[in-house]
Amino acid sequence: MTIDRREFLKVSAGAAGAVTLSGLTGCASTSVAGGKAKVVVVGAGFGGSTFARYMKAWSPNTEVTVIEPLGQFVSCPFSNTVLAGTNKMEDITMPYDYVKKAVDNWVADKVTAIDTSKRTVTTAGGKTFAYDRLVLAGGIELLYDKVQGYDAETRKTIKHAWKASPDQTGVLRQQLEAMPDGGTFVMSVPMSPYRCPPGPYERACQVATYFKKAKPRSKIIILDGNPDVASKKGLFVAAWKNHYGYGTADSMIDYRPNNMPRAVDAKKMTVGTEFDDVKGDVINVVPPMRAAAVCGMAGVRNGNNGNWCAIDYLTFESLDVPNVHILGDSALTNFPKSGSVANNTGKMCAYALSEIFAGRKPDQSPVVTNTCYSAGSDSVAFHVATVFRWDPEKKALVPPKGANGVSKEESELEMAYMDSWAKNVWADTLGLPENYNFTTKG
């Protein structure tokens, strides 16, 4: 079966289902100076892995090299359920085996230098890779120095858990388990823009779910650097009221807007804001963030005061450095920084490059979608879905007025959808087979 790339993208833009690449044949030949095009991908998260697989499917003559230091894929979406005790780290950890099989070269290493004039990438192991196009999908860099006292020693005990891993998410879960009933969990929300806008508020829900069952006298203090709940406010506030007594004298959640953490003290177990020092038994501070360090190496981190990467929406190519493309959280766009967007734009960038290599123009009116689910408890969830369409005047992908699809209320059915969405996007990103044994509970 032959699937046209343009038609495929039109269909897949609105679909959440997993996609098998075995039927994608009949792709056009690659056309670049010197013959075979070389694409180097840095980072194998939702954006990088998706891009690499689709690049090979749609432009099989292209040589694709992926550089990724981690041995397994650990999903940030669904990681808050580990804090609730609903899932374990192994439930959100999946293999890179099928991505490795799809690409030409898999390099288990860390990038240490990028020379965009010579078009080379160098790794810690001393290897250098030449490229025709470079795709940066490194996610975010956390700015610990923006929070006084958040040094290397403090980071041994104070966790951000904003890059899901056993050392972060797993340790934070252990700290919550060890906390006495009646203790206080202090968590923070960085100022926008940041990775996964609804993530901190979902985290509060999931920790409260655990406390409600195991430590009912405990409290959660949310120190939000933003002036108000930054995403899905009505739905989160409703969840806090429905399940955790928010708005009453017995509320498990104490929400404090305009309270950006400015300092942390691991010995005193306090978080300092401009108003006061807040003491906790467990502290979870998420520092400000910017585009991944590899973006700084490539000189593409020039937007939004040098924090994010401005791109051409049609190709995801940097507006500052030619032949460098940015995917996922690092990009400065109208999209939320989500796994769904990274997966979707990974396909869009692969399509654009396959067209360029074939001597054609990419689609001049692209569409990008985002779907984001959040769990209000261990049994109900809600979502927001957005369609971004090309605006030729603004030369950007923007959400048309009234195009957002938002849940009217939380429900058990939405939780089932959330579980299905996660398994589908994981399968699509990593090329997991239909019979893959997911153990995640939704």
Residue 282 belongs to domain with CATH number = 3.50.50.60
Whether 26 shows a pLDDT value over 80: the answer reads: no
Mean pLDDT of 271-299: 97
The verdict on 250 and 261 lying in the same domain is yes
State the pLDDT at residue 261.
97
State the pLDDT at residue 3.
40
Choose one of 341, 361, 381: the last residue of a domain.
361
State the pLDDT at residue 401.
77
The verdict on 245 and 196 lying in the same domain is yes
State the pLDDT at residue 85.
98
State the pLDDT at residue 219.
98
State the pLDDT at residue 5.
52
The verdict on 222 and 161 lying in the same domain is yes
Percent of the chain with pLDDT over 70: 91
The verdict on 157 and 279 lying in the same domain is yes
| Domain boundaries, position 66 | 5-142+290-361
Mean pLDDT of 230-243: 97
The verdict on 160 and 280 lying in the same domain is yes
The verdict on 212 and 254 lying in the same domain is yes
Whether 124 shows a pLDDT value over 50: the answer reads: yes
Choose one of 267, 288, 309: the last residue of a domain.
288
State the pLDDT at residue 35.
65
> Comparing 30 with 49, which gets the higher pLDDT?
49
Q: Is residue 207 part of a domain?
A: yes
By DSSP bridging, strand 111-115 and strand 105-107 are unpaired
State the pLDDT at residue 304.
83
The verdict on 281 and 319 lying in the same domain is no
Query: Which range is least confidently modeled, 10-19, 208-217, 326-335?
Result: 10-19
Q: Is residue 418 part of a domain?
A: no
Distance CA 256, CA 39 (A): 46
pLDDT digits (tens, 9 = 90+) for 171-183: 999 999 999 999 9
> Comparing 297 with 400, which gets the higher pLDDT?
297
Distance CA 439, CA 442 (A): 10
Choose one of 299, 330, 361: the last residue of a domain.
361
Mean pLDDT of 363-380: 95
Nearest to 338 by CA among 304, 372, 308: 372
The verdict on 138 and 162 lying in the same domain is no
> Comparing 290 with 20, which gets the higher pLDDT?
290
Q: Is residue 228 part of a domain?
A: yes
The verdict on 282 and 320 lying in the same domain is no
The verdict on 275 and 217 lying in the same domain is yes
Residues 6+ apart with CB under 8 A from 412: 379, 380
Calculate the average pLDDT of the chain: 92
Q: Based on the structure, what is the number of domains in the chain?
A: 2
Distance CA 104, CA 265 (A): 47
Where does the pLDDT of residue 32 fall: very low under 50, low under 70, confident under 90, or very high at 90 and above?
low
Contact call for residues 351 and 5 (beta carbons, < 8 A): yes
Q: Is residue 387 part of a domain?
A: no
The verdict on 29 and 103 lying in the same domain is yes
Whether 30 shows a pLDDT value over 60: the answer reads: no
Q: Is residue 366 part of a domain?
A: no
The verdict on 194 and 284 lying in the same domain is yes
Where does the pLDDT of residue 13 fall: very low under 50, low under 70, confident under 90, or very high at 90 and above?
very low
pLDDT digits (tens, 9 = 90+) for 218-233: 999 999 999 999 999 9
The CA–CA distances, whole Å, from 140 to 116, 182, 195, 295, 424 equal 20, 35, 8, 9, 24
> Comparing 7 with 49, which gets the higher pLDDT?
49
Distance CA 370, CA 386 (A): 5
Mean pLDDT of 184-192: 97
Whether 235 shows a pLDDT value over 60: the answer reads: yes
Q: Cα dihedral angle (263, 268, 274, 278), rounded to 10 degrees?
A: 120
State the pLDDT at residue 310.
96
